[in-house]
Structure 1
């Protein structure tokens, strides 16, 4: 009997076959690609996985990255090196695109922010004088993979042979235990990831030679630059900390490991928004969890609430990559059922901006107000709304923090991930647009106490943590 690809079964498989200890050409390739491997197993079995990715690279993208890549790195002897992607939100008051996680704390230290391109782009102006675009690594890795694939170079053949030798039996065991044969697809993609990682680590090493930081802080440790920085930190004795970019869930593969694992590409610390995350996040036991809160949320909540008064008859639906089609259909149906008396907002995931008109055509023919840009932060829509309708997205906790009533959609693993919160707060879990309409009309969406969702005094907590690390 085949096993379901639950996180528990996946972790059991990893432990049984010691997957995270396997290296090819010195690279811990399973650890670098385990999220995608688990997603592929789920995709071919239960059919649910995180969708959405960057569009294929083109010549214009390469030119843009090449021009940014020409800029030299001139930062020396910084205290803190921050590493992140290029996702920024526009401040409606200043016109500046902010990194809501790192900008504020970076200003308190002698620091530099390394910013990877997001969809091959950066949002400017960013209002910062300590941001360096790392397009050089994106340019070099994409070019190297393209050329190696086109010409099937000897190096690529060597990498492929190494991956097949190390993982053929592992992928055979995956087929036997879970069902799908993912060998050829995963081998090809893991070889690509080896190119990305090798080039990225070499590049990041040169940056560390110049920057000489006392601490590396990463946003989303499983981005390729951050994998490299974590391993380089261990090799060079530089502490590394990941700052959470949202609330984690117990089925999210990158946040779940067997406790005895020792993985070189993981950070030393994981900084969370809340003590509640200790029950949801399970890193190896040598990665320390530190609750610090979320300064941006703490600072901006009152400002947005004052600027955008709540309208109880405004409902905001939060899209999710894996269920965007289902959620958007419900939003259109609810909007039609509620009529002009209510305002229905549909907040797309940023990766849906470019394709939703083709994939979700029913939105164009509805009265739903679709948010398909980052001109205003999510907080505006949470401040304006009386009710939030979503799956297990991290926006749920933000909505609760803003005092929104809550309706949860019974899609994917929402019921599993939020079981404790649903039972404790008696949050309705619905399957149909009719149920949502009834709950809204009869004022039966759940109200959860907004206090306690985030650790208080967040900026002080972060400042203290960084200062203590640098003093050691």
Structure 2
């Protein structure tokens, strides 16, 4: 069942949740995105990136990583640098045998910035060998905070009036969405994370003394951003995925703000600037491009596409989409070969969860090879629901379709823009294959060219303008 984002915004407004403060800290801005994700998870969406494991073993493993970080890649041994990059912990293995941070490494490779790169662990590990030079790990902060919280240190207390208002939100969430969310615990946890990690981030900033902090994915990093604002260090975020008007990490109601939002946001292109209500001035939302995509377009420029229809899956809608793929595959009117590209979060479970797909002769991609961009280059059409990859596939001139399912609102702007068609049935898809929709896609509007040069220019300008 689709979660009504407009109803969620209505709840925020009617209960005036943005006004709730604990010791002058606006608490709702720190939990609104995670509360919405929890509602979606309870309603059956949002499973793609979840990690479940033995809690005790995970804590022991985390503690061992914390101990190791004292000697290995200790962030407090970084020395002084103009820039600190807080990269994306989910890396990708490239043809050169190195694990890349797709958002930062192309900038590091082509630029000459004085930087140190910080990385949080992903699923209790780091990929190696990493492409990134001057790399430090964040276990001392992340697990140092966890250790304090487990010991009950720096535990926050919520005033009775705040608890009452958050409980009112719980009641309304139950009434409107028919799920039980412990909003009080969400707030306590957010404040506890702040209390235990903010001093550690401040100490790190004192040690490195950066002129600019660059990060990927700002929501969930509120303590880091607060530390930067206390130290008067400008924060720049690099766009990493789809931004839309109901993405609660970026889009805020008119008149509302987020005190822990980056000072600047470098987007993929002008399209994204108009796709949400950002809580910063328009002139600080700057179209710059997507370096990794630009590199991949050049790498596969000479590949000839075939009559191939690429399905872009996600764990949240995989059951519906894979069933539709089977219908398409078995329909005589469609001459395209169907290729089903799984999300990495589906690799280990798709045969159990999509038995109809496992029993078919559809080509299913359940490993990193061949790379997604190679599949784009080899295909003539694509279909997906709410993935950033669909936008990227359009850059390969693919005839593009959006499957009507939960989450399709993320790609609706493509349909409104004329770059894609919405389909609910095989009949609609059969009628649309071979049309010229892709020619209406203005690549430059979505993804600025010369992206690395643009980003480097903006980062240097921000550095220099703040320290003239």
Q: TM-score, normalised by structure 1?
A: 0.85
Deviation at 1:189, TM superposition (A): 3.6
- Give the match for residue 360 of structure 1: 354
Query: In the TM superposition, what whole-angstrom CA distance separates every residue of 1:318-377 from its partner, at most 9, and x where no partner exists?
Result: 112321221122223333446997543222223333433332233322223333333554
Corresponding position of 1:37: 35
Instruction: Give ranges in structure 1 of 5+ residues lacking alignment.
Output: none
CA distance in 2, matches of 1:346, 1:37: 32
* Contact map agreement 2:101 2:131 (CA 8 A) in 1: no
Cα separation, 2, equivalents of 1:320 and 1:101 = 21
Deviation sequence 1:169-227 (CA, Å, 0-9, x none): 34345456x354635x232343333333332323222211111111111101113xx32
For residues 411 and 181 of structure 1, do their structure 2 counterparts lie closer, same or farther at Cα, with a shift above 3 Å needed? closer
Who is 1:280 aligned against? 275
Distance 1:181 1:128 in 2: 42
Is it true that 1:409 corresponds to 2:403 in the alignment? yes
Select 1:204's aligned residue among 184, 201, 204. Answer: 201
**d(CA) in 2 for partners of 1:420, 1:48:** 24
Which residue of 1 is the match for residue 392 of structure 2?
A: 398
2:464 is matched with: 471
- Aligned alpha-carbon RMSD (Å): 3.0
Distance 1:124 1:338 in 2: 46
2: CA distance between counterparts of 1:179 and 1:228?
Answer: 30
* Separation (CA, whole Å) in 2 of partners of 1:11 and 1:292: 30
Contact in 1 for aligned 2:334/2:430 (Cα 8 Å)? no
Q: Deviations over 1:305-329 (max 9, x none)?
A: 33xx233222211112321221122
Q: Partners in 1 of 2:86 and 2:289 — Cα distance?
A: 19
Q: Distance in 1 between matches of 2:124 and 2:430?
A: 40
Q: How does 1:122-161 map to 2 (within 5 A)?
A: 122-144=126-148, 147=150, 158=157
Please name the residue that 1:81 is paired with. Answer: 84
CA distance in 2, matches of 1:298, 1:186: 41
- Residues 1:234 and 2:229 aligned together: yes
Q: Can you list the C-alpha shifts for 1:440-459, whole angstroms capped at 9, x where unaligned?
A: 4xx34732346323112211
The aligned counterpart of 2:415 is 422
Output the CA distance in 2 between the equivalents of 1:11 and 1:376.
41
| Structure-to-structure mapping, 1:248-397, within 5 angstroms | 248-286=243-281, 288-306=284-302, 309-337=303-331, 342-397=336-391
Distance in 1, Cα, partners of 2:334 & 2:247: 38
Cα–Cα, structure 1 residues 410 and 167, in superposed 2: closer, same or farther, change >3 Å?
A: same
How far did residue 282 of structure 1 move? 0.9
Counterparts of 1:61-210 in structure 2, within 5 Å, are 61-62=61-62, 65-70=65-70, 71=72, 72-73=74-75, 74-92=77-95, 94-107=96-109, 108=111, 109-144=113-148, 147=150, 158=157, 164-165=163-164, 167-175=166-174, 178=176, 180=178, 182=180, 185-210=182-207
Q: TM-score, normalised by structure 2?
A: 0.86
SS of residue in 2 equivalent to 1:51: coil
Q: How many pairs are equivalent?
A: 452
SS of the residue corresponding to residue 305 of structure 1 reads coil
Q: Which residue of 1 aligns with 2:238?
A: 243
